[in-house]
Structure 1
Amino acid sequence: MSFTRIIGCLVAPLFFISCKEVVLNAESNEVIEIFQGDTDFNFLPTSTTNNVYHHDAFAFSYAEEYEQSEWVAYYLDSNDMSSVDFERPYFNQDPIVITKSADWRNFKKSGYNKGHLCPAADRKSSYELYEQTFFTSNVSPQLYDFNAGIWNRMEQKVRYWAKRYDGVYVLTGGVLSDNLKTIGKEKVAVPNYFYKIVLTKDRSKMIGFLVPHQKTSKAIYEFVVSVDTIEQMTGIDFFPNLEDALETKLESVSNVKF
């Protein structure tokens, strides 16, 4: 059995600062990550794929079967947002995904947008971070009216909360399941639902959204659900390292007052 070992350090703006050892089984492509020196809180979810990667702009769990990430996670505060008008880069395959992320050509003439999970507008503190949001590990097929409509309105609200609460943790992705429609030669799955979960930096408030992948004029609060509901649909434990009582309290409610 052959293994490849990569060691590196992870720095802000992600959820924690740590050094990591990545062990790759060359036969199965299974990635095992060992984190060393974590601070007292690690806000990353569990992974159903064991393929967790880190950019400076965001962390993600890549699901090769669906050719996209099952979740993207990042921290957002006012320092990440600016009025700078960066030149928009091309979408590219993610160089750190061992199995290769989907080629952008899968989306060509598919009828679907390359919908950002971590929005480019949430990474404007530098062009390098902004550019990383255009890796295809950070996109999912989205209908134009969904992407430009309810999804965009939710992104704007998250930026508002990031300023109001002096920072928030964001977890987002499509709900990946069997028998989804696919696009392109690589059969990129088209989720029927998308979710977004927001936790304030002080861990006092949490809110979850589960949105059908379709055009809607409904207010975003019409789609508030408990985080427990999203966990049941995805099989992901979104905040495994929160203190148990606090996790139970925050994840069980579906309160629109955030």
Structure 2
Amino acid sequence: MYKKLSLFVACTILVVISACNQHTHQQTDDGNMALGNPSNAQYNRLSPDNYLIDHKYYIESYNNSKAEPNWVSWHIAAKDLGSTDRLNDFRPDTNLPPGWYEADNTAYRRSGFDKGHNCPSGDRTSSPDANSATFLMDNIIPQAPKNNEHVWEHLGSYCRNKVKTGNEVYVIMGNYGSGGNGRNGYKTTIADGRINVPAHIWKVVVIIPDGDDDLQRMDESTQVIAIDTPNDNDVSNNWMDYLCSIKTIENATGYQLLTSLPPAVRTSLENKTFKGGN
């Protein structure tokens, strides 16, 4: 009897520990990570630099050592675009595990870098809750102002326009390396060394017509866009100047993208480079 009781207690403790290791948000079935988990991130506080967080409106791999996401993944459909104004309520994610650094709105002050969204505010205007979620600081990176306000804003607007004309869009955005040139020159970190300044910022976009069974509808002809930009205040305003293949991003980051797709489709898409057009 005592052995059975001890086993029951041990199992209960393991369940509690597992629950405590997980972020309070749980995955939702809204397609935000439908294309796969690029770094095999886990809901486990024992994996602090590849920690999977579901913010309901986007999913990310968070890096506690760098105090920023490794990558963020989300889906944009017509239902995500509404009339909610930009809330600008930048704030710490208080659901991070105890003892982890929580960046706040003051961390970027006088740094020379913008608080650059991964999942943009403009992609989540269906409700105040959706828009507010994008202002959690673990969706933010130190981004050179011209990079953020021109290159990334223009590509974000392009994606939203595709949605408004009868498409849906899957996006994965991330960064790698350390060291960027902001308004005040070159830095590798900000906030007294707590937050990494990425050297490169990348994005992968998959565009398909509105419909159901999205993964089954993706094939070798599906439109994909991949860009990789230096985190530099002297970048071009034109995001098409930074086009590359998905394979190039995989080689730079070590991530595996589009893993939910059949191997032949994935291989075809990861080797394409967008040429422009509709």
- Contact 2:57–2:130 (CA<8 Å) still a contact in 1? yes
Say which is worse superposed, 92-101 or 168-177, in terms of deviation: 92-101
Q: Show the counterpart of 1:123.
A: 124
Q: Show the counterpart of 1:11.
A: 28
Q: What is the alpha-carbon distance in structure 1 between the residues aligned to residue 104 and residue 40 of structure 2? A: 23
Match of 2:225, as an amino acid? Answer: I
Q: Deviations over 1:75-109 (max 9, x none)?
A: 001221123325x2421111332234423322111
Cα-Cα RMSD: 2.5
Q: Which ranges of structure 1 fall in alignment gaps of 5 or more residues?
A: 17-40
Q: Does 1:45 align with 2:38?
A: yes
Q: Show the counterpart of 1:198.
A: 205
Q: Show the counterpart of 1:137.
A: 138
> Are residues 57 and 176 of structure 1, via their aligned partners in 2, closer, same or farther at CA, if it must alter by over 3 Å?
farther
Q: What is the alpha-carbon distance in structure 1 between the residues aligned to residue 143 and residue 261 of structure 2? A: 31
User: What is the CA-CA distance between 1:72 and the residue it aligns to?
Assistant: 0.5
Q: Show the counterpart of 1:68.
A: 68
The DSSP-based 3-state class of the residue aligned with 1:225 is coil
- Contact 1:66–1:176 (CA<8 Å) still a contact in 2? no
Percent same amino acid among aligned pairs?
Answer: 25
Q: What is the alpha-carbon distance in structure 2 between the residues aligned to residue 123 and residue 234 of structure 1? A: 27
Match of 2:39, as an amino acid? Answer: T
TM-score scaled by length of structure 2:
0.75
Q: Show the counterpart of 2:46.
A: none
Q: Deviations over 1:100-135 (max 9, x none)?
A: 442332211111110011001110111111101001
Q: Show the counterpart of 1:83.
A: 83
Determine which structure has the larger helix proportion and give its number.
Answer: 2
Match of 1:185, as an amino acid? Answer: D
Q: What is the alpha-carbon distance in structure 2 between the residues aligned to residue 84 and residue 70 of structure 1? A: 28
The total of aligned residue pairs comes to 233
Q: What is the alpha-carbon distance in structure 2 between the residues aligned to residue 67 and residue 47 of structure 1? A: 19
Q: What is the alpha-carbon distance in structure 2 between the residues aligned to residue 249 and residue 232 of structure 1? A: 16
User: What is the CA-CA distance between 1:66 and the residue it aligns to?
Assistant: 1.2
Say which is worse superposed, 201-210 or 2-11, in terms of deviation: 2-11
Q: Does 1:250 align with 2:263?
A: no
User: What is the CA-CA distance between 1:178 and the residue it aligns to?
Assistant: 8.7
Q: Show the counterpart of 2:238.
A: 219
Q: What is the alpha-carbon distance in structure 1 between the residues aligned to residue 30 and residue 193 of structure 2? A: 32
User: What is the CA-CA distance between 1:13 and the residue it aligns to?
Assistant: 3.4
Q: Show the counterpart of 2:113.
A: 112
> Are residues 206 and 153 of structure 1, via their aligned partners in 2, closer, same or farther at CA, if it must alter by over 3 Å?
same
Match of 1:90, as an amino acid? Answer: D
The DSSP-based 3-state class of the residue aligned with 1:131 is helix
Q: Show the counterpart of 2:176.
A: 175
Q: What is the alpha-carbon distance in structure 1 between the residues aligned to residue 263 and residue 139 of structure 2? A: 30
The DSSP-based 3-state class of the residue aligned with 2:142 is strand
TM-score scaled by length of structure 1:
0.81
Q: Does 1:209 align with 2:241?
A: no
Q: Show the counterpart of 2:162.
A: 161
The DSSP-based 3-state class of the residue aligned with 1:217 is coil
User: What is the CA-CA distance between 1:253 and the residue it aligns to?
Assistant: 1.5
Q: Show the counterpart of 1:150.
A: 151
> Are residues 247 and 186 of structure 1, via their aligned partners in 2, closer, same or farther at CA, if it must alter by over 3 Å?
same
- Contact 2:179–2:198 (CA<8 Å) still a contact in 1? no
The DSSP-based 3-state class of the residue aligned with 1:53 is strand
Q: Show the counterpart of 2:211.
A: none
Q: Deviations over 1:42-74 (max 9, x none)?
A: 533224644111011100000112110010000
Say which is worse superposed, 68-77 or 183-192, in terms of deviation: 183-192
Say which is worse superposed, 220-229 or 92-101, in terms of deviation: 92-101
